[in-house]
Amino acid sequence: MVILLTGATKGIGAATAELLRTQGHQLVAVSRRPADTPGQLNVQGDVSHEEDVKRVVDQTVQHYGRLDAVIANAGVGSFAELEQFTSEEFDRIFATNVRGTFLLARYAVPVFKQQRSGHFIGIASDVSKRTFAHGTAYGASKYAQDALLGSLRKEVRPYGVKVSVIYPGMVDTHFNGAPTGDLTHHLAPTDVARAVQYVLDQPPGVVVDELMLHPLTQEW
């Protein structure tokens, strides 16, 4: 399977890339920073830039002759009271989390439709379904991403194309500069990677529309 993965160099993306490589998939790993990971096609690009996204999808199809799945994992966030956000920071979050997902779908879906197959997987968050103090910008972006993918799912199903959304709870990564090492109250990045694998491994006639996962100790 030829899989395009964004945000591939750390956290959930790095764990997912490693797992997919061990499963024998052809992986196109996209990140804003240059990467030189063996066993995959490493491509530098920013999902909020349309020319980058178009180039990455085109390069994948030219290199492998097809595109079987896209995993929209790149994401950013920051957390503060609403009046403390600048409009620039608000726009930065939406540019990656919402515009980036839109652009990936914009250029991958025509390939999927032509093939009459394909799978678009969005790595969202459990805050796509809830709200919390200091989460105004990030939460709003994740609600918007979820709505975008929910509508897309209905559009592409007649073409045999799948759309899945994974909603992790708190994950032990360096997201937004947070320290790591707490697996008592956080998921491990490999937990999310295994969820991606589960979604991808379903038979052709089965789609996992939504999959939410939490650490057992997290209140919901």
| d(C-alpha 207, C-alpha 102), whole Å | 20
DSSP line for 111-145:
HHHHHT-EEEEEE--GGGS---TT-HHHHHHHHHH
Question: Residue 180's pLDDT band (boundaries 50, 70, 90)?
Answer: low
Closest CA to 101 of 124, 127, 130: 124
Distance (Å, whole) CA 113 – CA 118: 8
What value does the mean pLDDT of the chain take? Answer: 93
Structure tokens at 5: 């993965």
In whole angstroms, give the CA distance from residue 38 to residue 211.
30
Local structure of 2: helix, strand or coil = strand
> What would you report as the CA-atom Rg of the chain, rounded to the nearest whole angstrom?
16
Residue 178: pLDDT over 60? no
SS3 216: coil
pTM (predicted TM-score): 0.93
Quick: pLDDT tens for 61-103.
999 999 999 999 999 999 999 999 999 999 999 999 999 999 9
Tokens linked to 153: 């799912």
What is the tens place of the pLDDT at every residue in 4-56? 999 998 899 999 999 999 999 999 999 998 777 888 899 999 999 999 999 99
CA 63 to chain centre: 22
Per-residue pLDDT, averaged over 109-136, amounts to 95
User: Which strands make up the sheet holding 69-72, listed edge to edge?
Assistant: 41-44, 26-31, 2-6, 69-72, 118-123, 161-168, 210-213
Handedness of CA 118, 123, 124, 126 (dihedral sign): positive
